[in-house]
Structure formats: structure tokens, C-alpha cells
Structure 1
Amino acid sequence: MMDLSLSRPDEIVKMLCDRLRNERLSQQMTQADVAARAGVGVNTVSNLESGKNVGFENVIRVAMVLGRLSELEELFKPKVDSLDDILRYESSLKRQRIRKKTDDA
């Protein structure tokens, strides 16, 4: 596992694009196969593999085709290490507005 905390965003994008391409190839699928099954264009898959901006929904579609949704599910999963964390998370599910901090100095 690579430590991403010391990586630049462009390095992380390149690594994830390489992993995506390798996953597709390991499943012996062409870009056209993935595109057809995901309901996107071949250019979208190509752009995704080369790190060009692609809509997040398209990333999800490709992940679904490659059977990698569980990894996406983990992406922004709340960190709950204790009962207090669980209660805090559940209370935050109610819609809230974040108040702007004011400078009272």
C-alpha cells in the first residue's frame, strides 16, 4: 500500500489512472468493452485512464463495471471509533448550516 499523505494530487491521479487501466486489462476488457457496459463513450474511458477531467458519475459507472464499488463506498465513510463518535455522526445527519466565523478582534 502506498502512503498517499506525502503525494501531490497529480501523483495520486496518475497512480489511480494506472490502477484503473491495470484493472481493466486484468479483466481482459478493452476500453470499448468498459464504455459499452458503463453507458459512456470510449473517449470517456480513455480520458479517465489518462487522468483528464471526467465527471464523477462516469467514474462510478466505470467502477461498477469493473466490480470496484466497495472501494468507492469506503472513500468517505465516517470514522467512528467510539460510541461518542457514532452519536456525534448521527446527530450531524440533520441538515445544518455552518456559520461563518466572524472576526471580533
Structure 2
Amino acid sequence: MGTRKLREGQPARRPHSLYSDIAGSLRVFVEALRTGATPMGEVHENVMSLVMVEASVQSARTGQRVLVDEVLQQAHSAAVQAETRPEVREVLLDWPSVLGDLG
């Protein structure tokens, strides 16, 4: 979304959102704790954003198409190998599809 101009060279002022900045993030977090609702910016959305960025970086570096599912599988495999707690490792190994669980 572009910035509208009121006068030449002066950007339009956007209304301040109650959910911006640290205070807004904390407000959303507390609201989720109180109501049980899933907060905006929930971890699954953030993971997918990071995966898309990683796929883009790999693609730019190699000049090849990189699939999001491949990046997720590589990260999952690395997490399983690095995990030292047996109970966490077992949960990671039980995921049939990382993309399916995040999507």
C-alpha cells in the first residue's frame, strides 16, 4: 500500500494502530491469554514467512528454483539431528508433513 500525498512532497499521515509497536504486540498477547484466541502473528505464520525468505535466498544464490517444502524438510531434518532431548526428538519424528502441520 503506497503512501498518499496531501501536498507535493508531504506524505499522508496514517492512523496509529492499537496493535502496532511493542505495546500493541503485548496487548494482542495478553488478549490471547485471556480469551484463548489465536493471536495475530502466530508462530505458524512467522515460520512460513521465514521459510519463504530462506527459499528466496537459496534460489538467488544458486539460480535454481527452491521449493518451500524442500526448505521445510531440510530444516526439519536438521532439527531432528540437533535435538538432544529424546521426548522432543520423538515428537519431531512423528510429524508426517511439516508443511501440513504448519499450513
TM-score by length of 1: 0.34
- The structure, 1 or 2, with the larger RCO (C-alpha pairs under 8 Å, 6+ apart) is 1
More strand by share: 2
TM-score by length of 2: 0.35
